[in-house]
Amino acid sequence: MDEKYCPGCFSSTGLRKILYGMPASEPDPDIYVMAGCTPEDRSAQMQCIECEWEGTTAAVRKATRARRFITMGEDLKGITVIKKLRLSHDALALLQESEIWKSTLGQVAGFTAESIYGQEGKLKQYWESYWSSAEEMRSDLMQNMGGGIPINVIDELVGIVQKLNSTT
Ligand SMILES: [Zn+2]
């Protein structure tokens, strides 16, 4: 939880506290680096032994927040993230389990949600697509008569994707 990341290389293992002056005993090398007795500049508080970055603990906090924002989706002050809607295997699996699917395309042998909207599906052009809103996604999927897919199936899929997007 309190893992810290280097602002220079984002390493989580390279950061050390800089010790100035002569320590009384041998400092733990996993925590400290020694700067010696007479460094001209003592403003750096931290150093990375992997990329030689040096700087303040404030910079480390900033990099750590940025890293957590990128990898864990944690909020970062001043940044608003708009998650775009897109297809996923989860969404297609849910579509196939839906009542609407079962009462329509589910009745047709050989049709699966993946065989239509998946990476190798009949309408695979949608797999790589991103949409800013449910309306945009819906109107895109409705093009060319929806590729023959019933409107209520398209609506179901849009609803599923929207729901997954808001919970992750
Ligand atoms: Zn580093």
Digit-coded pLDDT (tens) for 76-128: 777 776 778 999 999 999 999 999 999 999 998 888 999 999 999 999 999 99
Cβ within 8 Å of residue 98, ≥6 positions away: 156, 160
The per-residue pLDDT of the chain, averaged, comes to: 90
Q: Of the ranges 16-30, 42-56, 86-100, 143-157, which one carries the lowest mean pLDDT score?
A: 16-30
Length of the chain, please?
A: 168
Distance between Cα 3 and ligand 1 center (Å): 14
The 3-class secondary structure across the chain, one letter per residue, is CCCCCCCCCCCCCCEEEEECCCCCCCCCCCCEEECCCCCCCCCCCEEECCCCCEECHHHHHHHHHHHHHHHHCCCCCCCCCCCCECCCHHHHHHHHHCHHHHHCHHHCCCCCHHHHHCCCCCCHHHCCCCECCHHHHHHHHCHHHHCCCCHHHHHHHHHHHHHHHHHC
Q: Which residues surround ligand 1, an ion (CB under 5 A)?
A: 6, 8-9, 11, 14, 48, 50-51, 53
Q: Beta 54-55 vs 32-34: how paired, if at all?
A: unpaired
Asked if pLDDT for residue 68 goes beyond 80, the answer is yes
What is the 3 state secondary structure string of 99-126? HHHHHCHHHCCCCCHHHHHCCCCCCHHH
Residue 168 has pLDDT above 70, yes or no: no
* Distance between Cα 44 and ligand 1 center (Å): 14
Tell how far the Cα of 7 is from the centroid of ligand 1, in angstroms. 6
Range with lowest mean pLDDT among 22-26, 73-77, 106-110: 73-77
Q: How far is the CA of 27 from the centre of ligand 1 (A)?
A: 20
> Rounded to the nearest whole angstrom, what is the distance from the C-alpha of residue 2 to the centroid of ligand 1?
17
pLDDT of residue 57: 95
Residue appearing with tokens 């040096």: 54
- Cα(38)–Cα(20) distance, integer angstroms: 8
pLDDT band at residue 38 using 50, 70 and 90 as cut-offs: confident
The more confidently predicted of residues 146 and 79 is 146
Average pLDDT over residues 71-75: 73
| Of the candidates 159, 126, 127, the residue with the CA atom closest to the CA atom of residue 151 | 159
- Domain limits, the chain: 15-72, 89-166
Residue 154 — very low, low, confident or very high, per pLDDT cuts 50/70/90? very high
